[in-house]
Amino acid sequence: EIWASSFDYSMPIFQLTCLISEMGLNIQEAHAFCTIDGYSLDVFVVDSWETDMLLRFSILLFLKCCFPKQPPSSLVETQQNCGTLREKNRLSTGCDSSDVWEIDANMLNFEYKIASGSNGDLYKGVFQCQDVAIKVLKVESLNEDMKKEFAQEVNILRKVRHKNIVRFICACTRPPLLCIVTEFMRGGSVYDFLHKQKGVFNLSTLLKIAADVSKGMTYLHQNNIIHRDLKAANLLMDENETVKIADFGIARVQIQSGIMTAETGTYRWMAPEIIEHKPYNHKADVFSFGILLWELLTGKLPYSKLTPLQAAVGVVQQASAGLRPKIPKHGNPMLVELLQRCWQQEPSLRPEFTEIMVALQCISKKV
């Protein structure tokens, strides 16, 4: 066993997994613990350990901690210019004036809470006689980074218009209340249907949902937007079972900051290049879509017997192909072949969403 304690829980887990991999060790188990005041304890169970490895491991760990590699200047410049590039490639909504969508919070009628998270709450409400969903940031956890993330999500949502992307209605961007108002999706999330209501999609419905998601993602990618957090919880259904993609901005900023914790759960859908903090592009969304297809096909949570952190370690370290969910024996072979293409370890081998749309159409015609 390898035990590591630190006062900065965002740092050691990634250094240690990389170091263990470099030494040719296989991680059998991984456990992460943290306290509310910032201390962490990471425990790894490895095999192939030899007695003379201790000194080498200690030296390498010291070098990594004291002399970390600097990221390529080109990547730093790309991240710094990210907002500028998006502004150049932005979509026109007819009017960019904030007067069109900025509202006073008193215009909203809050009915009941739908869900609650660490940074915000989601409410069912009414705005101008229409049912809406209201996402409110928690004042007690508000900081400058969260304000920037919030503004970025508003900036994306107000510019995108597609039948398979949740429709932005308005927002309140003036403190103390920060909220985003979108259309209310009566069917709830795909995640809740599968894992809380224990629902099952038949093959025709599954293919329709997959097609809805691929259409929405095609639109986003064609407009230089990478979702970065494509998962069942961020797919919402209306009363007609039309699926729309939701939740923009926040997850992307969190990933770029390099702070990802096992508690978020996004590890289960995350592409290996993101887990390893390598440069990534829109093909990371395709990987997540492959995991999502498996989830729709089986009705199961990906890597349900593993913690999110254990799953992440397996995805990047198990042999060269990485850990993937077990393929069901009786799954549609054409759909299975598609999802396996989507979750290829090498991003360039994954299909574009335009190709995925065509493949889904072909499958639909044959079933």
At 34 the pLDDT is: 56
The CA distance from 141 to 114, in Å, is: 19
Q: Give CA 13 to chain center in angstroms.
A: 19
At 21 the pLDDT is: 63
Regarding the domain delimited by 96-183, which CATH topology (the fold level of the hierarchy) does it fall under? Answer: Phosphorylase Kinase; domain 1 (3.30.200)
Token reading at 18: 């990389």
DSSP string, 235-247: EEE-TT--EEE--
The CA distance from 5 to 8, in Å, is: 9
Catalytic residues: 229
For strand 26-34 and strand 188-189, is the pairing parallel, antiparallel, or unpaired? unpaired
- Every domain of the chain with CATH number 1.10.510.10 lies at 188-366
The CA distance from 193 to 51, in Å, is: 50
At 205 the pLDDT is: 93
Q: Give CA 99 to chain center in angstroms.
A: 31
Between the CA of residue 223 and those of 33, 150, 162, 355, what are the distances in Å?
40, 20, 12, 17
**Which class does domain 2-66 fall in?**
alpha beta
At 61 the pLDDT is: 63
Token reading at 139: 């004042």
Token reading at 335: 């759909």
**Taking the model in full, what pTM does it have?**
0.70
At 158 the pLDDT is: 87
- Every domain of the chain with CATH number 3.30.70.260 lies at 2-66
Biggest CA–CA distance in the chain, Å, is 72
Q: Are 247 and 302 in contact (CB under 8 A)?
A: no
What is 188-366's CATH superfamily? Answer: Transferase(Phosphotransferase) domain 1 (1.10.510.10)
- Every domain of the chain with CATH number 3.30.200.20 lies at 96-183
Q: Where are any strands of DSSP class E within 8-108? A: 26-34, 40-47
**What are the 10-residue block averages of pLDDT along the chain, 367 residues in total?**
62 58 66 57 70 65 51 33 35 46 89 84 92 88 77 86 94 86 94 89 94 96 88 92 82 38 62 87 94 94 90 79 87 94 95 97 92
